[in-house]
Structure 1
Amino acid sequence: MPTLTIDIFRKIWSLRNDGAILPLHNGIPGHPILVSKPCLMQAIKRPNITNMRQALLMGAHYSVEVENAEIILDIDTPDDFITAQKRYTKI
């Protein structure tokens, strides 16, 4: 998520409500997810859930399409970092 802009945060923040706001880019889940405290507390109490997105989808949630492809960039491994570095570094 290192390339997220203030405009992305503003768009998602403007949609806040009692549920979870789940951004998508061309139908692909992205970041940042915005979750109200009551929604989060419900999600963490759900049994037999393997990840937070799954728990949030079981409660009140709203998907929003975001034009910026940066929302789907995730850096979890050294290879992800190298790929992002090549993509965003101007030589």
Structure 2
Amino acid sequence: MNLKNFIKSTAELDPNLILKGDQDQVSFISKILVDSENQIILLTLSLTKPTSPLRLFDLRKQTSSAPSGFKFYLFNPQKQQKTYTFGYYLRDQYLVIK
């Protein structure tokens, strides 16, 4: 999923939705890294709920200056596994990126 499509498709969503990632299981997103050199947005997964969970607002804010072609990846630090994302779904108060 690239940033341009993500911005367009989430424009009407509540900015307070908590971010989660669905790789092999649903986990909280604990960190957002914009890597300009590789043109990616890396979303780091965490099995535990962070004290201040990241929200859609945080993702928009941290990616606001990134070019629209940047691609999203989920990163599992325990498995050292990075996977390309292809969409998202809503579950309760969560925006789950998969």
- TM-score, normalisation: structure 2: 0.23
**Structure index of larger Rg:** 1
Say which structure is richer in strand. Answer: 2
